[in-house]
Chains A and B, each alone.
Chain A
Amino acid sequence: MSGLRFTDEHEWVSVEGDIATVGISDYAQGQLGDLVFVELPDIGRELSVGDEACVVESVKAASEVYAPVSGKVVAVNEDLNDTPALVNEDAMDGGWFFKVKLSDPGEVDTLKDQAAYDEYIEGLG
């Protein structure tokens, strides 16, 4: 287990076996503001690192969520369809977006760990 990992684009990844759960960080949801809509990927979709995986809509604007790892989408958080606010309320757990079956488990190790991410967002001001 590599523990929680983060991208510079504020996605988080949590791995169990070869299944990775992906969400956006609490910092990200705070920056976005209230979410009103989330567009999740189709189950079965093959994602490569950096692909646009989801779209989140705040009151004012749309933003992309990128795939932090490569793999096939095996589950999505249906709760976000009715309650996009879950992402604001619980970004790190209940507000998860999708799960992928990793095609390259080594990718996760290249991402920032919690300490590195905390330092990174502190540097953003």
Chain B
Amino acid sequence: MTEGGIRNWDSDRVAKCDARGTFVNNASLKRTPLYDLHKELGARLVPFAGYEMPVQYTGVLAEHNHTRDGASLFDVSHMGQAIIDDAAQLERLVTGDIRGLKAGRQLYTLLTNEDGGIIDDLMVTNTGEHLHLVVNAGCKDKDFAHMRRVLDLRELPDRALLALQGPKAAEVMGRLADLPADMVFMTAAEIEVGGVSCFVTRSGYTGEDGFEISVPADQAEALALSMLAHDEVEAAGLGCRDSLRLEAGLCLYGNDIDETTSPVEAGLTWAIGKSRRQSGGFPGDRVILDHLANGVARKRVGLKVLGKAPARAHTEIQDSQGRAVGEITSGGPSPTLGHPVAMGYVETGCAALGTKLNLVVRGRTLAAEVVKMPFVQQRYYRG
């Protein structure tokens, strides 16, 4: 076995080596408020974005499948939560229509740079009193520093974030909370969950119905335990979080989108406010509006791999003539579909649905086909 392959997953030497096998001091990794619970549940902990995080409990495939059948509980407290008040200033940094975001509503948006690339993708919710932001763990320092140049921002380091995801999530939440009848996908409410005052949004990163629950850190474990007490709920780790979001066609920052990809190339035009597709008013708007008006040279597409071998990030994509036309940015098995899937960027001429492409894996070509995303139908609750 590859030594690096084994060392990555060596649970008892947590964080002795990071994902690249580099020796890392245990003490330098942060822990979420649920760390003790993860240990008790027998989680395999690995370094992720500077935190010791559970990658799995019973197994990635079992946890993945359970999320599509029941309800999985994820600890996503490593992500950055913050409060801001200046909607107008935030709007100048992102593609979304922040000033028009109504109280109790959430949107997905992008922080852009001067070149029209993406600094991060994030969720913004109008709580009625403030704007609540959730940013990627690996980007939070960068994002907050960037935003603080033009607005006041209060980080929320004393809050945990739990995600309850799956077709049974609403049923479980209904037992623990007085869910507002109109709480549909991308809406928010401040409610008591299991007796704990929480800020809840109906959203997630799995393609399933679900909730993200912001809770005071000192009550996070109690809340998690009260959820896990329900038969339908199982703890799930970051391993299946990645396979679930891939099936859902959702981008992973750093893989599928980054500072060199425009929202238009990435197929995220829908994350640009409608009127802003003409008026701009965010960094890099000249580039992005040009992409909207005149098209792009490359596009993010979904690929069905015709075979059994997964094709992963950095795999070269070729057309049927063997000409290099792109690269995979995320790929892996789809437990739900039973065949590997991937996403990547290809020349626009090769982006049409049904285009037959080849993937170069370990010196051999694997057949693939451009397909629609999401790969697995999204099942958001819309009322």
Interface positions of A (Cβ within 8 A of B)? 9-11, 24, 28, 31-34, 36-37, 39, 55, 57-66, 81, 85, 124-125
Whether B294 sits at the interface, judged by CB under 8 Å, is no
- A124 vs chain B, min Cβ distance (A): 7
Whether B84 sits at the interface, judged by CB under 8 Å, is no
Contacts of A10 in B (CB 8 A): 1, 6
- A67 vs chain B, min Cβ distance (A): 12
Contacts of A31 in B (CB 8 A): 5-6, 9-10
Given A10-B6, A33-B239, A34-B60, are A62 and B312 also a contact pair (CB < 8 Å)?
A: yes
Whether B243 sits at the interface, judged by CB under 8 Å, is yes
Contacts of B60 in A (CB 8 A): 33-34, 58-60
| Pairwise interchain contact B1-A124, C-beta atoms closer than 8 A | no
| Pairwise interchain contact B333-A59, C-beta atoms closer than 8 A | yes
| Pairwise interchain contact A37-B309, C-beta atoms closer than 8 A | yes
The residue on B at minimum CB distance from A33 is B60
| Pairwise interchain contact A61-B8, C-beta atoms closer than 8 A | yes
Q: Which of the residues A32, A36, A85 comes within 8 Å of B9, measured between beta carbons?
A: A32
Q: Which of the residues A55, A66, A124 comes within 8 Å of B10, measured between beta carbons?
A: A124
The residue on A at minimum CB distance from B5 is A63
From B59, B243, B310, B362, residue with most partner A Cβ within 10 Å: B310
Q: Which of the residues A37, A55, A60, A81 comes within 8 Å of B239, measured between beta carbons?
A: A60
Given A125-B10, A125-B12, are A24 and B56 also a contact pair (CB < 8 Å)?
A: no
Whether B242 sits at the interface, judged by CB under 8 Å, is yes
| Pairwise interchain contact A59-B243, C-beta atoms closer than 8 A | yes
The residue on B at minimum CB distance from A34 is B61
Contacts of A32 in B (CB 8 A): 1, 5-6, 9
Q: Which of the residues B1, B8, B56, B239 comes within 8 Å of A66, measured between beta carbons?
A: B1
Sample of 9 A–B contacts (CB below 8 Å): A9-B1, A31-B5, A33-B60, A34-B59, A34-B62, A37-B310, A37-B340, A63-B5, A65-B1
Q: Which of the residues B6, B10, B59, B332 comes within 8 Å of A60, measured between beta carbons?
A: B332
Contacts of A60 in B (CB 8 A): 60, 239, 242, 332
- B7 vs chain A, min Cβ distance (A): 9
Task: Beyond the given A24-B1, A61-B312, please list 11 additional residue pairs across the A-B interface where CB-CB is below 8 A.
Answer: A28-B1, A31-B6, A36-B61, A37-B310, A37-B333, A57-B310, A59-B64, A60-B60, A61-B8, A62-B5, A62-B310
| Pairwise interchain contact A37-B1, C-beta atoms closer than 8 A | no
Whether B13 sits at the interface, judged by CB under 8 Å, is yes
The residue on B at minimum CB distance from A10 is B1
- B13 vs chain A, min Cβ distance (A): 5
| Pairwise interchain contact A33-B312, C-beta atoms closer than 8 A | no
The residue on B at minimum CB distance from A7 is B1
